[in-house]
């Protein structure tokens, strides 16, 4: 007999069917605290049209080809004799329920498989987390190439927002009308990737930041992934997500269990912004998330300042200037280890380069810490250059197919962390560095895709990903005070699972404020500002050659976890004073930026982009208004804010950041000339306030405070 159970989050409810056939989410949407799940399920019961099989196969959590589900099956696999490829499951024991967690159990005695699905929706959250574990209950191996979970979507959801991207253009939004058929997003790069991130939003037609029903999804996994959003010919819609497994990648021994990554989903009836805030709240509630008690340290990173050209006296002077401008952390990027003079050599040889640092790193670390700054170090542990002692001694430790010519990426190969000796070597080297030096921060990089990643004769991306997690876990357990940043050629590894082990994501290698404004907006769909590495680079961007004044660069970096990535030794005294002022202001507003609710505004006008934070009690807000291009109209539209308390009075004024060039047209708006304007939240949201005329590629900060 089919039974139904109901779970309730803060503002959403989920109805799950179980008992007969595979368990399904039959409803997921706005809270229905007073309704009986049996009645909801009865109301949604579907008739049979002509010319179909006689029992409609449900969009189960693990949909079944064997039951006649013609969309994407949740399990793909078989045994050597060809059996087990179309299993059909029934409940094997009643669900277990505890504190917002439901465990559902199923088996197929014919295929000799069983699975457990966990659904987690605590009453104080609004993110539904789900994952599946599959066990081979037979006595032969079961070769598995898919274990994915599916969640149904209601029919009013007919527009998709997902993201493409590339190096220096992460989280590029793509809006699609959801016609019949499937949108499939497959990532085979061995990292969460720049171009196929496992993130998708599905919403009602025309949904925007503050309107429309929106469902958001993310697969928490740092390896390969596959997302499918399908609209079936019978009208049903679903989202399916799981790890992308290569042929032969997983073979379950008799009795063996595999656990798939967590799939996260959030629903809101009030637009995309609300869904993002739900994801942010979820991350913020997780153990290990940076808290306001230990403010995010402003850092100076040496990469765009000196690249591989490390010279102790210069680096010491750079640290002096970093301290002068108020930085709290000094991160020594690539170039410090054995023979690392360019990107051709050295990866794998994780000891200090004796030519650049004859007395080791201690003199620099002592100098930096003596200035009161924390010392941070760049590493790329999952990689090896063919020109390295490590490779010369252990060519068998690479994650590749030795039968073929090796494919290089940035002159490097992937080191097979699932190889116990390679793992032990890397652990020992990193542990040694963290033990012997006063290191508070690690920038953990990963700069190439997997190509023919072979471990133990099989595809090895999954094994590598699990070994990476294990390595991070072991290191952070042994060195709990070290903060790790996830970097992968910029933002190529941004996902919820890597965030179990790291506390910051390097958003993009692009420090061009214009590009960054859009990249950061995309990044903020999932991640809150305190996790978003945002650096002020030099006037001329190193990745685009665009020139921007400090006012614009500073305004865009201001709203994340601020850093400086610029050789301040070449900056003028005025510029250093301006950077110092920017850092001072950032520190002042850091509790608001890193603790408030993130809000993106919609704009009718493509020339502007506005996003900001509103304090949780809604008494204060900070918005960056960026003029990104020239516009058709000579006077910009009023800025209509969002997410304010309609009944509260706010004083709105401009927060002057240093280094702004350009003027405000012939006259300023009257309210600006007066210094401020006082309006209700309602008026600020419905009427808005007139911004001044701004040059393209410049920005202003609006500061709203409660007015008496
Ligand atoms: C990657 C990172 C950069 C920098 C370089 C160093 O590209 O994304 O920030 O650390 O590597 O080689």
Taking the centre of ligand 1 as the mean of its atom positions, its distance from the CA of residue 246, in whole angstroms, is: 29
458 vs 665 pLDDT, higher one: 458
Q: What is the pLDDT of residues 356-385, one digit of tens each?
A: 999 999 999 999 999 999 999 999 999 999
Residue from 503, 504, 496 nearest 526 by CA: 496
User: 162, 509, 512, 645: which is the annotated catalytic residue?
Assistant: 509
Task: Provide the pLDDT for residue 541.
Answer: 97
293 found inside a domain: no
Q: What is the pLDDT of residues 98-132, one digit of tens each?
A: 999 999 999 999 999 999 999 999 999 999 999 99
237 DSSP β-pair partners: 153, 231
Three-state DSSP at 226 gives strand
Catalytic site residue 509? yes
Q: Residue 482: give its domain's CATH number.
A: 3.20.20.70
Total domains in the chain come to 3
- The residue whose CA has the least distance to atom 7 of ligand 1 is 489
Q: Do residues 517 and 645 both lie within one domain?
A: no
- Residues in the chain, overall count: 708
Task: End-to-end CA distance of the chain: give it in Å, rounded.
Answer: 62
- The residue whose CA has the least distance to atom 4 of ligand 1 is 303
Helix (H) or strand (E) holding 77, with range, is strand 75-78
Q: Do residues 515 and 603 both lie within one domain?
A: no
- Stretch 605-633: mean pLDDT: 95
Alpha-carbon distances, residue 17 vs 4, 22, 53, 89, 427 (angstroms) = 5, 8, 21, 14, 46
Structure tokens of 642?
Answer: 């969002």
Structure tokens of 207?
Answer: 């949904």
Residue from 303, 443, 294 nearest 376 by CA: 443
Taking the centre of ligand 1 as the mean of its atom positions, its distance from the CA of residue 304, in whole angstroms, is: 9
- The residue whose CA has the least distance to atom 5 of ligand 1 is 334
DSSP string, 670-699: HHHHTS-EEEEHHHHHHT-BPPPP--SSEE
Q: Residue 691: give its domain's CATH number.
A: 2.60.40.1180
- Stretch 442-466: mean pLDDT: 98
Task: Provide the pLDDT for residue 248.
Answer: 97
Alpha-carbon distances, residue 101 vs 19, 93, 96, 130, 385 (angstroms) = 18, 16, 8, 10, 45
The residue whose CB lies within 8 Å of the most ligand 1 atoms, and thus the one to mutate among 333, 411, 519, is 333
623 DSSP β-pair partners: 612, 702
The residue whose CB lies within 8 Å of the most ligand 1 atoms, and thus the one to mutate among 300, 309, 331, 334, is 334
Structure tokens of 125?
Answer: 């959250």
Q: Do residues 532 and 638 both lie within one domain?
A: no
Task: Provide the pLDDT for residue 9.
Answer: 96
- Regarding the beta carbon of 489 and ligand 1, being less than 6 Å apart is answered yes
- Stretch 385-405: mean pLDDT: 98
Q: Do residues 572 and 658 both lie within one domain?
A: no
Taking the centre of ligand 1 as the mean of its atom positions, its distance from the CA of residue 546, in whole angstroms, is: 20
Q: Do residues 578 and 699 both lie within one domain?
A: no
Alpha-carbon distances, residue 683 vs 611, 639, 649, 696, 705 (angstroms) = 18, 11, 9, 27, 14
Three-state DSSP at 485 gives strand
Task: Provide the pLDDT for residue 292.
Answer: 94
Three-state DSSP at 20 gives coil
Catalytic site residue 573? no
Q: Do residues 128 and 276 both lie within one domain?
A: yes
- Regarding the beta carbon of 445 and ligand 1, being less than 6 Å apart is answered yes
What is the 3 state secondary structure string of 80-134? CCCCCCCCCCEEEEEEEEECCEEEEEEEECCCCEEEEEEEECCCCCCEEEEEEEE
274 found inside a domain: yes
Q: Do residues 582 and 618 both lie within one domain?
A: no
Three-state DSSP at 567 gives coil
Taking the centre of ligand 1 as the mean of its atom positions, its distance from the CA of residue 490, in whole angstroms, is: 7
- The residue whose CA has the least distance to atom 6 of ligand 1 is 334
pTM, 2 dp: 0.98
290 found inside a domain: no
315 DSSP β-pair partners: none
Helix (H) or strand (E) holding 63, with range, is none
300 DSSP β-pair partners: 330, 564
Q: Where residue 194 falls among pLDDT bands split at 50, 70, 90?
A: very high
The DSSP call for residue 412 is: B
Q: Where residue 605 falls among pLDDT bands split at 50, 70, 90?
A: confident
Please report where in the chains the tokens 């110092």 appear, as a residue: 580
- Regarding the beta carbon of 303 and ligand 1, being less than 6 Å apart is answered yes
pLDDT at 172 over 90: yes
Q: Do residues 578 and 497 both lie within one domain?
A: yes
Least confident of 300-309, 331-340, 448-457, 657-666: 657-666
Q: 257-259 and 250-252 as β-strands: parallel, antiparallel, unpaired? A: unpaired
Query: In the predicted model, what is the mean pLDDT of the chain?
Result: 97
Task: Provide the pLDDT for residue 119.
Answer: 98
Q: Where residue 663 falls among pLDDT bands split at 50, 70, 90?
A: confident
287 DSSP β-pair partners: none
Three-state DSSP at 303 gives helix
Task: Provide the pLDDT for residue 662.
Answer: 86
Task: Provide the pLDDT for residue 518.
Answer: 97
Please report where in the chains the tokens 């679903």 appear, as a residue: 238
- Stretch 142-162: mean pLDDT: 97
291 found inside a domain: no
Three-state DSSP at 395 gives helix
- Regarding the beta carbon of 378 and ligand 1, being less than 6 Å apart is answered yes
The rounded distance, in Å, linking the Cα atoms of 266 and 201 is: 9
488 DSSP β-pair partners: 491
pLDDT at 193 over 90: yes
Last residue of a domain, one of 548, 564, 593: 593
102 found inside a domain: yes
Angle at 137 between CA 131 and CA 143, to 5 degrees: 70
- Regarding the beta carbon of 490 and ligand 1, being less than 6 Å apart is answered yes
Q: Where residue 180 falls among pLDDT bands split at 50, 70, 90?
A: confident
- The residue whose CA has the least distance to atom 1 of ligand 1 is 489
Task: Provide the pLDDT for residue 606.
Answer: 86
Domain that holds residue 272: 3-285
Last residue of a domain, one of 253, 285, 317: 285
Residue from 603, 607, 601, 625 nearest 703 by CA: 625
Q: Where residue 604 falls among pLDDT bands split at 50, 70, 90?
A: confident
Q: Name 259's Cβ contacts closer than 8 Å, sequence gap at least 6.
A: 131, 132, 133
Least confident of 187-196, 551-560, 662-671: 662-671
| Ligand 1 atom nearest to 487, measured from its CA | 8
- The residue whose CA has the least distance to atom 8 of ligand 1 is 489
515 found inside a domain: yes
pLDDT at 664 over 90: no
Q: Do residues 375 and 276 both lie within one domain?
A: no
Q: Residue 12: give its domain's CATH number.
A: 2.70.98.60
Q: Do residues 346 and 390 both lie within one domain?
A: yes
Q: Do residues 336 and 273 both lie within one domain?
A: no
Beta-carbon-side half-sphere exposure of residue 606 (alpha carbons within 13 Å) = 2
Task: Provide the pLDDT for residue 631.
Answer: 86
- The residue whose CA has the least distance to atom 11 of ligand 1 is 489
Chain center to CA of 134? 27
Q: Do residues 238 and 311 both lie within one domain?
A: no
Task: Provide the pLDDT for residue 446.
Answer: 98
pLDDT at 562 over 90: yes
294 found inside a domain: no
The residue whose CB lies within 8 Å of the most ligand 1 atoms, and thus the one to mutate among 382, 509, 519, is 509
Least confident of 449-458, 498-507, 601-610, 617-626: 601-610
Is-contact 302 373, C-beta < 8 A?
no
Q: Where residue 645 falls among pLDDT bands split at 50, 70, 90?
A: very high
Task: Provide the pLDDT for residue 86.
Answer: 98
Last residue of a domain, one of 593, 618, 646: 593
44 found inside a domain: yes
User: 126, 445, 495, 549: which is the annotated catalytic residue?
Assistant: 445
The rounded distance, in Å, linking the Cα atoms of 593 and 703 is: 12
């Amino acid at each position: 007999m089919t039974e139904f159970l109901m779970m309730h989050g803060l503002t959403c409810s989920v109805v799950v069917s179980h008992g007969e056939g595979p368990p399904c989410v039959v409803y997921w949407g706005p809270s229905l605290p007073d309704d009986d799940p049996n009645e909801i399920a009865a109301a949604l019961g579907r008739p049979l049209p002509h010319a179909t099989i006689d029992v409609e196969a449900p969009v189960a959590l693990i949909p079944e080809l064997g039951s006649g589900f013609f969309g994407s099956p949740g399990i793909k696999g078989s045994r050597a004799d060809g059996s087990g490829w179309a299993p059909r499951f029934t409940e094997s024991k009643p669900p277990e329920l505890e504190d917002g967690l439901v465990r559902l159990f199923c088996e197929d005695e014919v295929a000799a498989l069983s699975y457990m699905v966990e659904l987690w929706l605590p009453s104080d959250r609004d993110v539904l987390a789900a994952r599946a574990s599959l066990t081979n209950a037979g006595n032969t191996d079961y070769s598995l190439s898919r274990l994915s979970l599916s969640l149904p979507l209601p029919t009013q959801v007919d527009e998709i927002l997902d993201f493409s991207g590339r190096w220096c253009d992460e989280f590029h939004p793509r809006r699609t009308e959801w016609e019949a058929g499937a949108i499939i997003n497959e990532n085979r790069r061995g990292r969460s990737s720049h171009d196929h991130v496992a993130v998708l939003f599905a919403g009602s037609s025309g949904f925007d930041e503050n309107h429309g029903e929106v469902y958001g999804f993310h697969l928490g996994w740092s390896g390969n992934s596959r997302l499918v959003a399908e609209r079936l010919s019978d009208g049903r819609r679903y989202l399916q997500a799981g790890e992308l497994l290569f042929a032969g990648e997983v073979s379950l021994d008799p009795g063996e269990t595999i656990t798939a990554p967590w799939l996260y989903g959030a629903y809101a009836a009030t637009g995309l912004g609300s869904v993002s805030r739900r994801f942010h709240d979820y991350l913020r509630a997780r153990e290990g998330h940076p808290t306001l008690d230990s403010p995010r340290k402003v850092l100076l990173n040496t990469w765009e300042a000196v690249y591989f050209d490390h010279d102790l006296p210069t680096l010491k002077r750079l640290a002096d200037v970093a301290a002068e401008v108020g930085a709290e952390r000094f991160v020594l990027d690539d170039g410090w280890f054995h023979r690392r003079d360019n990107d051709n050599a050295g990866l794998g040889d994780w000891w200090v380069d004796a030519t650049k640092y004859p007395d080791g790193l201690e003199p620099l670390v002592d100098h930096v810490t003596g200035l009161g700054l924390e010392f941070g170090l760049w590493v790329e542990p999952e990689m090896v250059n063919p020109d390295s002692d490590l490779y010369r001694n252990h060519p068998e430790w690479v994650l590749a197919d030795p039968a073929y010519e090796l494919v290089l990426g940035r002159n490097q190969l992937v080191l097979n962390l699932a190889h116990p000796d390679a793992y032990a070597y890397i652990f020992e080297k990193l542990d040694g560095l963290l033990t012997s030096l006063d290191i508070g921060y690690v920038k953990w990089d990963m700069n190439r895709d997997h190509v023919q990643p072979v471990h133990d004769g099989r595809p090895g991306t999954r094994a590598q990903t699990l070994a990476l997690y294990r390595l991070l876990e072991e290191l952070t357990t042994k060195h709990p005070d070290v903060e790790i940043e996830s970097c992968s050629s910029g933002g190529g590894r941004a996902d919820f699972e890597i965030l179990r082990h790291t506390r910051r994501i390097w958003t993009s290698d692009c420090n061009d404020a214009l590009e960054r404004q859009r990249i950061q907006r995309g990044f903020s769909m999932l991640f809150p500002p305190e996790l978003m590495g945002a650096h002020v680079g030099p006037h001329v961007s190193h990745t685009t050659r665009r020139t921007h004044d400090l006012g614009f660069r500073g305004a865009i970096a201001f709203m994340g976890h601020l850093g400086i990535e610029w050789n301040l030794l070449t900056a003028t005294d005025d510029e250093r004073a301006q950077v110092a002022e920017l850092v001072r202001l950032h520190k002042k507003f850091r509790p608001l930026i890193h603790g408030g609710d993130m809000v993106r505004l919609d704009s009718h006008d493509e020339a502007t982009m506005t996003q900001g934070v509103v304090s949780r009690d809604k008494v204060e807000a900070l918005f960056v208004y960026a003029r990104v291009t020239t516009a058709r109209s000579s006077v910009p539209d009023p800025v209509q804010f969002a997410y304010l308390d309609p009944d509260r009075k706010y004083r709105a004024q401009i927060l002057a950041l240093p280094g702004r060039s350009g003027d405000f047209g012939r006259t300023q708006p009257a309210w600006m000339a007066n210094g401020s304007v006082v309006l209700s939240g309602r008026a600020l949201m419905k009427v808005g306030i007139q911004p001044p005329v701004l040059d393209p590629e410049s920005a202003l900060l609006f500061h709203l405070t409660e007015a008496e």
